Structure 1
């Protein structure tokens, strides 16, 4: 039977029950919570009060009232615990803070693998399933470069660009997160089962959908808002004008995330959507430096796997020695002589490295020979 259900699990069970009701998507759930206050009050609301809520018809009201038995939610929770999956909700300490900023965050996040604090520094890579060799090359190359810089790569486990992005991050020894539009019991596409296992070992597979949710076309655009929600920025590679990846770009704009696009051949329809985005203001990507430059400052300092405090993603592309010199510079102005004297290293090497750091815009020079660590 697995681990017994505790009384302390009641709130989580109510969230699972609500999540199991067909037709209660992110926006309907948010409307219901605004009206009734909690999942328990929604589940116990009178039929007429449910019908008074905008967007709730008789079919959905009946589905909420005559919901599946509590035992179904208990079974879902037991299965997750037996498989070692986490179920995170908004009040969980492990729930990603970037997702909380979304207008319609997932109420539940099923997770296989681990989400770490360093995953706050994440970039999504998305694009077409039917892509060219060039697109696959660029996705894998950019993902690997981001991973080597200490940035977590987020994508959707789909064929094509998504697959190449996850693969690039894995090969570089970095972290990657796959956001699925199915339940954890339905890896899709099925041929990516081995890839999904590798992703879970070096990151996480996450979904807002119940364990047994099979692939349904309409759920993929819904999933895309979580891909962008996880990330500081979204990189599009080979998105045609009808590509679902453009939904992810739209969500990114709505969430205040940066949008980047990799150009392709101007006469190839595979990159037409990317070229439209560049024309309309998305940042053009030539290499990973363009992405790190465009991300700007981290909202709060993030601790990386090597326990370094990062104030801006540009710092991630520095060499070990450059990071050591950068750590001599504080957020408060210091005179150049004071910085040099604070280290036993050769002064000429410190001075030349500080000049490089200034050129890379991670150190700012102030009048009077003072330096300060750049925040943006």
Structure 2
């Protein structure tokens, strides 16, 4: 990687015009009027808005049908219906999780997302096959993307004997985070499910990201049980609650108490901004001191026909779901797909300061609120110091990785 000098871009917080020098994978300097060096590639930013690479905090790359022929959505309305429908489809179709993960990850990259936390199904039907495919994709992407893998028991932990051992094996294979799913709603025994899940995490020395779809007060009781275990095991700062619908469904005093405990235990909330369920309020989370990050969940898979690998679109949808209208509030929605996402997932060396990994995006917008609402073309994307989009044209997917990205 040669040195790069990005000239004439504007910082997102105050609009100040600066140049950015990149040396290797890192930002070396951010200042006005940096003098070009001999042999340094100079890129003209044309006064564009400089943004940090986006963070996708909740994906399911292994599930996606991105780039494949349309599949009509056939599952029933219950969570269990969708789990079983997906299991049948993937078994019958010979779904290639590694290839599909690569296809969607590259589509994210071309739209400016440089760091992804992805949940990967581990169960007694597929074993570690999906995980191994995603780990192979992670290895191929390592020079242009940080892909963090969560070993996820999509069919439940207690429901299928042998799942716990597969999760232990997944952590040994290279997953960084342990996932969980509805300890009461799916497993039917929150105490036993959480004891086993936290026991595996303790053995592996890893953090957790738990899908919690359970509604209302029942979900709040499960969340309390999770918080109790985080406190007892000293896992502060290493646990995230994905979806957390119950937080948005209980009464205000109960919600405030839950958010207060989550803040004190440094537990992050990860939201999709779901339109059909209660969701954690972005403004209430910020006021309580709870990190709130955003992700897409599934994108065009057996669960849903919806979704797009564009984190500016996700920020817009989260802002819309939370009825955010003021410029400052739209900035909060942007934080959910950038700095708050990095905090929730533990991605290090993130930002626009010297010393940070050089993950940079330039768009034609006056400021962050406009970027969130308009979702302009990515004029330039630099990931880990490598140019992957130039003048709106992807330049790295095939060249760097030798892989043709399927369209959608």
Short-chain TM bin: under 0.3
Name the structure where strand makes up a greater proportion of residues. 2
Name the structure where helix makes up a greater proportion of residues. 1
- TM-score between both structures, scaled by the size of structure 1: 0.26
- TM-score between both structures, scaled by the size of structure 2: 0.25
* Larger Rg, first or second structure (1 or 2): 1
